[in-house]
Amino acid sequence: MSIDVPIETKAQRLGNMINSYLLPLGWLIILTGMFWAGERAMYHKLYYIFLAFPTLLALILQPRLLKPLTSNPLFIAFLAFSAYTLLSIAWSDTENSTGSLLKRPLYIAMLLLSAGIIALRNPAQLEQCTRLAAIFVALVAGLALIYFMYSKLPYAGNRLSGYGALYNPLLTAHVFGAFAAFWLGSWFQARNVLSPLPIICLALLGAAILATGSRTPLVGLAAAMGWLMIVGDRRRSLIAIGVVALGIMVVALIHPEAITQRGVSYRPAIWMESLRQISEHPWLGHGFDSPMTVILPDLSKTLADPHNIELGVLYSGGILGLALWMTLYGLAMYFSWVHRKQPAVTLAATWLIFGFASGLTEGSAFMSRPKEHWFLIWIPLAMVYGQSLIHWTRSRAVKS
């Protein structure tokens, strides 16, 4: 008696190769490319070639993937927010072409879908690729610190600005902080409290963040630690609090100016002026990519954003846009809370919370081409989306 074995077509073989090899490679590139791409334009090209296009090709070759990927509540919420954001171009004063703006959600969708495909085909691979990238970034942080200490630290006022496609201390701190959040979550989940890998990586990234002089990632890491204290081990929480308290004391004794000299960096005044401008069009906003100018009497330079991602969403999309934005985050956090016992979910949520809290004090580019802000918003959302697909599929399989 012969058994008919399904013959794998060329399209299926190519699709499986993309899923198994090219998309994980693309994920590694998008996570690490900022440090070695050399310039921003090259980083964009690497994303298009190794992640966006392969994801689109994989979906063309395997159309059956579309249903589980797009029926997920998180992806539906993203589509709703994107549709409204693009609609708001109709009343925006943007200086960019409509065609250029229409591509922005597509870039982000490809990131989400790539994470989803990897998670569906090999659930552990997404976390493995992210961990490998996190090790690489920690090593880069260590090398950057060595170079900074020997070449730039002796000159007063210098800050670690970054290398490769990174050039700004604040933006570089976003990326270092994102991976610091990853290693903080990894330490909470490690079997041994003295597990060397997360401790060493966290130390290197923490030192690099301090060298940038940016306090934004410190806000995000505090929020991430708060999440881990709620869902994680109580003993580790006490150790983490003790280490943070000791670090603050050391900084206060050795270099107190780092805490006192910059104050709140005009943030309350910037936010108040931003809210005044938002009040001019509160419900629908000024439109996607509408330019913003913040002028403060005590500040010599003109600012172009509200230094708060949520205020940026509110400025562009109004109350309706912010409601859709918060729905997206609400669904992500609801899923993360329900499945908080899953280590990979907790880790993704730690990064997500870091990004959200960091965005409360810096930035406004909520829908852009690949850049540092993706490490605060879309990369952690893609990780949570990938995990939600795993558990969404399992729950549906159990019910059926």
Give tens-digit pLDDT for 15-51.
889 999 999 999 999 999 999 998 899 999 999 999 9
Share of residues in the chain with pLDDT > 90 (%) = 72
Query: Which residues does 177 contact at the CB level (< 8 Å), separation at least 6?
Result: 205, 209, 216, 217, 218, 220, 221, 354, 358
Asked if the structure places residue 1 within a domain, the reply is no
Asked if the structure places residue 374 within a domain, the reply is yes
Asked if the structure places residue 62 within a domain, the reply is yes
Q: Tens of pLDDT along 308-325?
A: 999 999 999 999 999 999
Mean pLDDT, the chain, whole residue set: 90
Asked if the structure places residue 182 within a domain, the reply is yes
Asked if the structure places residue 123 within a domain, the reply is yes
Asked if the structure places residue 372 within a domain, the reply is yes
Residue 5: pLDDT band by 50, 70, 90 thresholds?
Answer: very low
Q: Look at residue 256 in the predicted model and tell me its pLDDT.
A: 60
Distance in angstroms (rounded) separating the CA atoms of residues 269 and 307 = 11
Contact 174, 375 (CB under 8 A): yes
Query: What does the pLDDT average to over 318-333?
Result: 98
Distance in angstroms (rounded) separating the CA atoms of residues 78 and 330 = 12
How many structural domains is the chain composed of? 1
DSSP 91: G
Residue 396: pLDDT band by 50, 70, 90 thresholds?
Answer: low
Asked if the structure places residue 3 within a domain, the reply is no
Q: Tens of pLDDT along 149-187?
A: 887 655 556 788 888 889 889 999 999 999 999 999 999
Q: Tens of pLDDT along 205-250?
A: 999 998 898 889 999 999 999 999 999 887 888 888 888 788 777 7
Phi, psi dihedral angles at 249 (to 5 degrees): -65, -40
Which residues constitute the domain of residue 132? 10-399
Asked if the structure places residue 5 within a domain, the reply is no
Distance in angstroms (rounded) separating the CA atoms of residues 385 and 372 = 20
